[in-house]
Amino acid sequence: MRRVVAMLMIMAASAPRCAAFSSSFLSYERRGSQAFKMLSRQSTRSFSVSMSGTSQGRASAAVAQSKEKSTGKKEKLDLKPPKGTRDFYPEDMRMRNWLFGHWKDVARLHGFEEYDAPVLESEELYIRKAGEEVTQQLYNFEDKGERRVSLRPEMTPSLARMVMARGKSLTLPVKWFSIPQCWRYERMTRGRRREHYQWNMDIWGVPGIEAEAELLSAIVTFFKRVGITSQDVGIKVNSRAVLSEVLTAMGVPADKFAATCVLVDKLEKVKLDDIRGEMQELGLTDEIITKLVATLSIKDLDALEQTLGNGSKALAQLKQLMEYAEAYGFRDWLIFDASVVRGLAYYTGVVFEGFDRKGELRAICGGGRYDELLATFGGEPLPAVGFGFGDAVIAELLKDRNLLPNFDNNKVDVVVFPLSPSVYASAAAVSGVVRSKSISSDLVLEDKKMKWAFKHAERLGASHLVIIGEDEIAKGIVQVKNLAKGEQVEVEVSKVSDFIAEQLASS
Amino acid sequence: MRRVVAMLMIMAASAPRCAAFSSSFLSYERRGSQAFKMLSRQSTRSFSVSMSGTSQGRASAAVAQSKEKSTGKKEKLDLKPPKGTRDFYPEDMRMRNWLFGHWKDVARLHGFEEYDAPVLESEELYIRKAGEEVTQQLYNFEDKGERRVSLRPEMTPSLARMVMARGKSLTLPVKWFSIPQCWRYERMTRGRRREHYQWNMDIWGVPGIEAEAELLSAIVTFFKRVGITSQDVGIKVNSRAVLSEVLTAMGVPADKFAATCVLVDKLEKVKLDDIRGEMQELGLTDEIITKLVATLSIKDLDALEQTLGNGSKALAQLKQLMEYAEAYGFRDWLIFDASVVRGLAYYTGVVFEGFDRKGELRAICGGGRYDELLATFGGEPLPAVGFGFGDAVIAELLKDRNLLPNFDNNKVDVVVFPLSPSVYASAAAVSGVVRSKSISSDLVLEDKKMKWAFKHAERLGASHLVIIGEDEIAKGIVQVKNLAKGEQVEVEVSKVSDFIAEQLASS
């Protein structure tokens, strides 16, 4: 897993075939500045969008119209994908499949089942009043039936809808995962992506901290599989119950809590004085604000105990979580940090956030407990906890650490090459037989030279080249060249698939 | 592959857990009438959408608003996905992954590479003047930046854009596949789906009929893998070059050809007299129309030779295709039918369409050659051929023929069950170790009874239940129950993962 193909990564940077791979997944501007990191930190669960170079997204709003000119020839189409979106060429797709494959494997190892929901949802699913960025940046519009709809900015509301729809018939606990594409629309920013894919894992029906521990286990298991260590990445952990206990003790009403958390989250990117007015509008006095800010600065559980007292439920849960992390073997990944509250209104308990220890990247993943979300949709509350893990920052981190495999080549087992059009039908038949043994076979569809066929086989990373000419057909054989060993042997047509299957099995 | 779980399918029809599976994938109204079959036949490449029951899509346009009532309690959210769309619960997702898995395997066996493009594209990509249904039913809108965009109705234009963007740097031939979700918007129809997933395979850069033969090989390979035979399904084959030769001989200008084909395709659902006026507007005389209709009725290649003469290139290609099909071993799947022209404007050569031989379902898949598409985008023409294969009709066919596996249960290897909260940390540690051997492990997160744990393990299809109590921890062991054999043994904690791995390997 940790095998690094550093040489090939360096080559990839200059190879034209790899241009799109670099631009769509990896060529985000590196930003070490705290200011930038803060900009999008709070919204990882909702949208951990990466900066992308302008090379892929459209830089200009002008859309070339394909109107016929007076010459009768069409104007050339704008060849870029829509602003802020990506094409996935095969080399990009190999990277995506590799990443998604790890996510899916880890989720399944933890006993989670995959689900999906429409990328387009009713807008009402996302309308919340707490002033979150996620609701301000909806990619929403009115459809032709005058319904307000939106491309989903996050998966949790769809999941909540699905869980609620099943109601009592759902066997608890629910452990589900998905890798949805999520969207947002920002008017002003340049070159920022408007879509990303986001690994989601959620547990419904478990009130205890065991659910949080299990989700953190999945996240750490993923990091370890791809070669990332606890020296590279940490996970900040907190509980909104900490703030809730402090605010409740100072008489702040419960219905101000979500909006307070959304404001507190903004302290990552703005100064306290910039939002003091908004805090006062929520009814927070200067005394409360001072206490709040003091609480946020706490970085260890002993200090937290001094603030909350040893009867605090929030403290007990966090201590228990750390004990479980020790048992699972990932205690070294966790850091208590009372300033982490996350930017989504619906979190109620433990929240967490993966970050790179060098401090160069935005949040890698984030999540938390949201026991009251169904209630806000008019249902009975049901304990729930989940996380979102975007595809952009992790790609950047993996590239930084040289942990990406080589995605340059398609992997095909065999190239089948007819020496002339007269034997094409026989070559097709051989390809069919080879494929019936689950051996992938690229059949050369045109009349090509031998030299081309060898180069082609090399480009596809094929292990064998099957050469078919008129002489061979007359004798009922084909030539099979083992490209790694350089050996070429004659094999009876009826035995070619078994022959190659054996060679592949033994290599 | 052909193993049918008929009993379980019958059970599934009544089990509540399977309701969504049935409704989202399979519970389309069965329509034997030719009239209905014709309705959507022409658009399979663009959108082989199925009829869905109204149980899943929203039947009413009214969207329940989640406004707070005077009681302070929220009105309940509308729990259905948006009209015409589907949720994928885990049992639906298992079906989808099974189907997509076959599609991906078949594409890879043929040496094809996966790609993807944004679901949202610039509307101009789909604006064509030939009067196709696909452009009339765009799910398009204006975004906040006043750009005209559309959810993609089909994948080919995105692919063309991507191929064109790479230009000369692309190594030909290109053999790419994708399984995009495609969208359409119809105002009037009830209960018809607005999205489907569509397997696409395309070959660029190969002018010869070898490319068509290779794509048909992929389609037939898929059918065979899932147990469908040439008695169940046939593939009608024709070439637009047949019509082109006839029309050119009668003096019809080339620029009327695409629109003529789109009109001819409508003859599947309307009478000739209903479109005679439109044909006349295109400049087709009654003499030409009569000749056209006579040509469309031809059902064998000998008769075609009498119409086109033995110098016809279209005829020679179709004959060659049939010979290749013989060599591949799927000649029995193909039927020449001059009335098949497909509904997309851009096809120029061979076209084909998979159909069920009982005549009960709409087209299963469809495709053809489109050598001029890049030219319509202002680029240099590049030979291309491809097909689209939707997820709806095939699901219906597989259900009809009892060819679907049982998707009821998640498959987990092991359930790890702590007998009390006091041993939870140990259970978490055991789960972690088991997972590190790539054995999937569902950890019981709550304090449950033994009876519940057994039922839970059964529901998950687990092969082993690992039971951990205080006595066991004191002795450094766990209880491992092999659920198939009913045997329970004590295993040292340090050996549990190896023990289960061995049992799984030998079962």
A351-400 pLDDT, tens digit each: 999 999 999 999 999 999 999 999 999 999 999 999 999 999 999 999 99
Write down the pLDDT at residue A411.
85
pLDDT band of residue B469 (cuts 50, 70, 90) is: very high
Specify whether the backbone of B378 is left (phi greater than 0), alpha (psi in -120 to 50) or beta.
left
pLDDT band of residue B440 (cuts 50, 70, 90) is: very high
With 50 as the cut, is the pLDDT of residue B389 above it? Answer: yes
Write down the pLDDT at residue B150.
96
b/e string for B302-335 if b means 16 or more Cβ within 10 A?
A: eebbebbeeebebbebbbbbbbbbebbbbeebbb
Write down the pLDDT at residue A179.
98
Contacts with B388 (C-beta within 8 Å, 6 or more apart), sequence order: B44, B45, B46, B48, B154, B155, B156, B198, B199, B200, B365, B366, B367
Residue A189, token pair as written in the block: 């920013």
Q: Which residues of B touch A143 (CB under 8 A)?
A: 139, 141, 185
With 70 as the cut, is the pLDDT of residue B49 above it? Answer: no
Write down the pLDDT at residue B408.
82
The minimum CA-CA distance between A142 and chain B, rounded to whole Å, is: 8
The CATH superfamily label for domain A90-400 reads: Bira Bifunctional Protein; Domain 2 (3.30.930.10)
A166 Cβ under 8 Å from any chain B Cβ: yes
With 50 as the cut, is the pLDDT of residue B226 above it? Answer: yes
Residues 141-160 of A with CB under 8 A from B: 141-149, 151, 158
Mean pLDDT of B239-243: 94
A410-423 pLDDT, tens digit each: 789 999 999 999 99
- pTM of the predicted protein model: 0.87
Write down the pLDDT at residue A25.
37
The minimum CA-CA distance between B473 and chain A, rounded to whole Å, is: 13
Task: Give percent of chain B with pLDDT exceeding 70.
Answer: 84
B15 Cβ under 8 Å from any chain A Cβ: no
b/e string for B77-115 if b means 16 or more Cβ within 10 A?
A: bbbbbbbbbbbbbbbbbbbbbebeebbbbbbbbbbbbbb
Mean pLDDT of A143-153: 93
Write down the pLDDT at residue B189.
62
Write down the pLDDT at residue B88.
98
C-alpha dihedral sign at A138, A142, A145, A147: positive
B359-383 pLDDT, tens digit each: 999 999 999 999 999 999 999 999 9
The minimum CA-CA distance between A25 and chain B, rounded to whole Å, is: 13
The minimum CA-CA distance between A166 and chain B, rounded to whole Å, is: 9
Q: Specify the residue for token string 């089909």.
A: B154
Write down the pLDDT at residue A192.
79
Residue A224, token pair as written in the block: 């370890």
With 80 as the cut, is the pLDDT of residue A9 above it? Answer: no
Task: Give percent of chain A with pLDDT exceeding 70.
Answer: 84
Write down the pLDDT at residue A3.
39
A453-470 pLDDT, tens digit each: 999 999 999 999 999 999
Instruction: For residue A334, give Cα distances in angstroms to A213, A232, A244, A412.
Output: 11, 12, 22, 42
pLDDT band of residue B186 (cuts 50, 70, 90) is: confident
Q: Which residues of A touch B324 (CB under 8 A)?
A: 424-425, 428
Residues 396-435 of B with CB under 8 A from A: 410, 412, 415, 424-426, 428-429, 431-432, 435
Closest residue of chain B to A203, computed from CA coordinates: B445
Pick the residue of A65, A87, A171, A420 with the most B CBs within 10 A to test the interface with B by mutation. Answer: A87
A442 Cβ under 8 Å from any chain B Cβ: yes
Q: Which of B81, B90, B142 sits opposite A118 (nearest CB)?
A: B81
Per the annotation, does A492 bind a ligand? no
B71 Cβ under 8 Å from any chain A Cβ: no
Q: Which of A144, A176, A217 sits opposite B185 (nearest CB)?
A: A144
Q: Which residues of A touch B213 (CB under 8 A)?
A: 428
With 70 as the cut, is the pLDDT of residue B35 above it? Answer: no
The minimum CA-CA distance between A151 and chain B, rounded to whole Å, is: 10
A321-359 pLDDT, tens digit each: 999 999 999 999 999 999 999 989 899 999 999 999 999
Write down the pLDDT at residue A190.
64
Kindly state the helix (H) or strand (E) to which residue B326 belongs, with its residue range.
helix B313-328
Task: Give percent of chain A with pLDDT exceeding 90.
Answer: 76
- Select from B9, B2, B123 the least CA-distant residue to B408: B9
Write down the pLDDT at residue A8.
34
B123-170 pLDDT, tens digit each: 999 988 777 888 889 999 999 888 999 999 999 999 999 999 999 999
A82 Cβ under 8 Å from any chain B Cβ: yes
Q: Is the separation of the CB atoms in B287 and B250 below 8 Å?
A: yes
Selected residue with higher pLDDT from B105 and B54? B105
**Interchain proximity B66–A124, CB inside 8 Å:** yes
Mean pLDDT of B396-412: 91
Closest residue of chain A to B58, computed from CA coordinates: A122
Residues 303-332 of A with CB under 8 A from B: 323-324, 326-329
Write down the pLDDT at residue B285.
94
Write down the pLDDT at residue B25.
37
d(CA A460, CA A468): 19
Q: Which of B93, B161, B410 sits opposite A77 (nearest CB)?
A: B161
Alpha helices in B116-239 (DSSP H): 133-136, 156-166, 210-225
Per the annotation, does A155 bind a ligand? yes
Per the annotation, does B154 bind a ligand? yes
Q: Which residues of A touch B86 (CB under 8 A)?
A: 118
Contacts with B264 (C-beta within 8 Å, 6 or more apart), sequence order: B243, B292, B296, B341
Average pLDDT of chain B to the nearest whole number: 86
- Select from B317, B303, B23 the least CA-distant residue to A166: B23
Residues 234-293 of B with CB under 8 A from A: none
CATH, range A414-506: 3.40.50.800
Write down the pLDDT at residue B67.
37
Selected residue with higher pLDDT from A46 and B398? B398
Mean pLDDT of B23-37: 32
Residue type, position A131, single letter: G
Q: Which residues of B touch A124 (CB under 8 A)?
A: 63-66, 77-78
The minimum CA-CA distance between A222 and chain B, rounded to whole Å, is: 11
The minimum CA-CA distance between B165 and chain A, rounded to whole Å, is: 5
pLDDT band of residue B16 (cuts 50, 70, 90) is: very low
Q: Where are the domains of chain B?
A: 2-69, 90-400, 414-506
Write down the pLDDT at residue B171.
94
d(CA B42, CA B63): 33
Instruction: For residue A335, give Cα distances in angstroms to A208, A217, A321, B213.
Output: 20, 15, 11, 59
The minimum CA-CA distance between B332 and chain A, rounded to whole Å, is: 15
B458 Cβ under 8 Å from any chain A Cβ: no
With 80 as the cut, is the pLDDT of residue B206 above it? Answer: yes
Q: Specify the residue for token string 């680029």.
A: B379
Write down the pLDDT at residue B288.
94
Residue type, position B89, single letter: Y
Mean pLDDT of B336-356: 94
A36-77 pLDDT, tens digit each: 333 333 344 544 333 333 333 333 323 233 333 344 455 678
**Interchain proximity B139–A143, CB inside 8 Å:** yes
Q: Is the separation of the CB atoms in A331 and A322 below 8 Å?
A: yes
Write down the pLDDT at residue A189.
62
With 70 as the cut, is the pLDDT of residue B346 above it? Answer: yes
Write down the pLDDT at residue A302.
94
With 80 as the cut, is the pLDDT of residue A251 above it? Answer: yes
C-alpha dihedral sign at B79, B82, B84, B87: negative
Which of the residue ranges A93-107, B96-110, B216-230, B289-303 would you say has the lowest mean pLDDT? B289-303
Q: Which residues of B touch A203 (CB under 8 A)?
A: 445
**Interchain proximity A185–B144, CB inside 8 Å:** yes
A69 Cβ under 8 Å from any chain B Cβ: no
With 90 as the cut, is the pLDDT of residue A226 above it? Answer: yes
Q: Is the separation of the CB atoms in B90 and A117 below 8 Å?
A: no
d(CA A61, CA B170): 27
